Amino acid sequence: MSAATRARRLDESARITVLEAGGFVSFANCGLPYHIAGRIKDESALLVTTPKRIADRFNIDVRTQTRAVRIDRSTRTVHAVHAGEEQVFAYDVAVIATGAAAIVPAIAGATAPNVLTLRSMEDTRRMQELLGRGGVRRVVVVGGGFIGLEMAEALTDRKLDVTLIEKNGQVLPPLDAEMAALVELELRAHGVNVVTGTGLGRLVGGAEGVTGVETEDGRLFPADLVLLSIGVRPNVELARGAGLMIGATGGIAVDGWQRTSDPAILAVGDATEVVNGVTRGFARVPLGGPANRQGRVAGTVAGGGAVPGDSQPVAGTVMGTAIVQVFSLSAGLTGLTEKAAVAAGIAHETAVITASHHASYYPGAHPLRVKLVYEPGSGKLLGAQVAGRDGVDKRLDVLATVLHFGGTVEDLARLDLAYAPQFGSAKDPLHMAAFVAENQLAGVVKTVRVIPPEALPLDVRSAAEFAGGSLPGAINIPLEELRRRASELPRDRAVVTFCQIGQRGYVAYRILHQLGFTRLANLEGGYVVAASVPLGAGAH
Ligand SMILES: Cc1cc2nc3c(=O)[nH]c(=O)nc-3n(C[C@H](O)[C@H](O)[C@H](O)COP(=O)(O)OP(=O)(O)OC[C@H]3O[C@@H](n4cnc5c(N)ncnc54)[C@H](O)[C@@H]3O)c2cc1C
């Protein structure tokens, strides 16, 4: 619909037809979990527009329940099926926006009536109907990605017993482990039974209804309802059938103007592959933001509002910026995570901080964890992740903007951000993260992510904090006593300073460094990261 309406705004004379296999156009996929949770009460609120309104306002002919089955490039026609009848539509420009489909494994029970996926309004109605009938008490959500997490929350909101099974060793696999750990803690705190490190083995029961899920490691989780949210695959059959180029990622290959290998056919959204804005490699990023922007570009081309080749491609690069809320915690990413950098063989450094989302003295301050991934030497930002209760979205968007413009951690440190106590801090968490990175780059501090076995862990928190739990083998010298007691430390052994979140550890590092200690490092992120304790557990 983005492509169709944009084309109309540019060309009043075009004949524009939209073919939709389902019964709805422009419905809010992203709102579906919140309708199931009961927060969006009225289903009609999810229907952003209707075929009638589109016809009235845009003079676009929307054909629902009409599936495009073939594109004949030689005659420039799209062949579709409506109510069993073939229909043929001639085109000068065709736009393929077939999206993606939820992956359903080919295993027994996967088509049972109480095994569902969530992609469409029809899926949502099926789930609402099943839940409304009563008798559903235990739900197993298979897959701990964005939709799985949103649905684990939604179903918990509906007072159901929820088990979330994630094959990876952590929930929210796109994020690094220490960021995703916060999400897992939040899920557990709200009663979700989180099972990681093992996938769906088999569905127990028959085609008439499953009664449970057995994991690959043989554990059985009873279920009255199973939601499969194990990812999506791009709907490329139409494009493949037309002989269009499919990229190595499995998405339809397009250029920066969304043109496929046939310039008369454009493709957008989840069905396509994109250029990763950081690695410049091809990727699939099935998200609403890129899909909508690509739709606008395709509409511009289709509406004759741009001449491809005249200027730079506009739609191709995607940073994969994404955010999810799970109960009171939000978490998200933009650009490369540390593990993505490792997987791509890209040299990188990281900086992890915890800081209040606004001035800590102003009521309602909550901690944020920020992780930067940047290029050694140049300090160019490669990616970032943020997690916390409030203010996550704004930080991610600032970071995505810095990434978009190819900025460095120095740029981030110098950003002139809006500040009043209820909104941020004079040194925003993003500044603090950038300062850490700047210090690392300048050699002002050396940080480690893991304490090497031969090193002495030096806990510089208060004696009371130390008594509440510390890292294995750690000794305690509170920061305030360090100058006086530094002689207690060995000079022939590496010392790793740490505190709750890394800040006092850094000060301790600087004290010891200036006292002549040479084998020193500060533990990045501090105790809260190393011990994986909830954000805000005494973080200061
Ligand atoms: C539950 C859920 C929550 C989400 N939340 C977020 C979020 O918070 N943020 C975010 O960025 N993204 C989110 N997404 C992803 C986002 O919805 C998609 O990235 C976006 O909808 C992709 O747009 P699209 O037009 O490519 O595909 P779709 O929106 O899937 O549209 C494709 C349409 O094509 C139709 N179709 C397919 N084949 C044919 C055919 N042969 N003929 C005719 N019609 C056909 C389908 O019926 C479908 O209506 C969410 C998705 C889901 C399912």
Per-residue pLDDT of 37-71, as tens digits, reads 999 999 999 988 889 999 999 999 999 999 999 99
Asked whether 308 and 301 are in contact (CB, 8 A), the reply is yes
Mean pLDDT of 385-407: 97
Quote the ligand 1 centre to 99 CA distance (angstroms): 5
pTM metric for this prediction:
0.95
Strand order in the sheet with 220-222: 200-206, 209-215, 220-222
> What residues form DSSP beta bridges with 100?
234
Query: Can you give the pLDDT at residue 532?
Result: 86
Quote the ligand 1 centre to 245 CA distance (angstroms): 21
Asked whether 265 and 241 are in contact (CB, 8 A), the reply is no
Q: Name the band, by pLDDT with cuts 50, 70 and 90, for residue 247.
A: very high
- Do strands 138-142 and 282-283 pair parallel, antiparallel, or not at all (unpaired)? unpaired
Give the model confidence (pLDDT) of 290-312 as tens digits. 999 999 999 999 998 876 555 55
Is residue 402 pLDDT above 90, yes or no? yes
Give the model confidence (pLDDT) of 90-123 as tens digits. 999 999 999 999 999 999 999 999 999 999 999 9
Q: Encode 1-25: b = buried (16+ Cβ within 10 Å), e = exposed.
A: bbbbbbbbebeeebebbbbbbeebb
Mean pLDDT of 141-161: 98
Q: Can you tell me which residue has the tokens 């968007």? A: 397
Task: Determine which one of 15, 23, 30, 92 is catalytic.
Answer: 30
| Best mutation site among 54, 98, 120, 318 for ligand 1 pocket (most ligand atoms within 8 Å of CB) | 98
Task: Compute the distance between CA of residue 506 and CA of residue 513 in angstroms, rounded to an integer.
Answer: 10
Asked whether 477 and 457 are in contact (CB, 8 A), the reply is no
Asked whether 252 and 234 are in contact (CB, 8 A), the reply is yes
Query: Can you give the pLDDT at residue 48?
Result: 82
Q: Tell me, what amino acid is at 239?
A: A
Q: Using alpha carbons only, how large is the chain's radius of gyration in Å?
A: 26
Asked whether 159 and 153 are in contact (CB, 8 A), the reply is no
499 given a catalytic annotation: no
Query: Can you give the pLDDT at residue 313?
Result: 54
Quote the ligand 1 centre to 284 CA distance (angstroms): 14
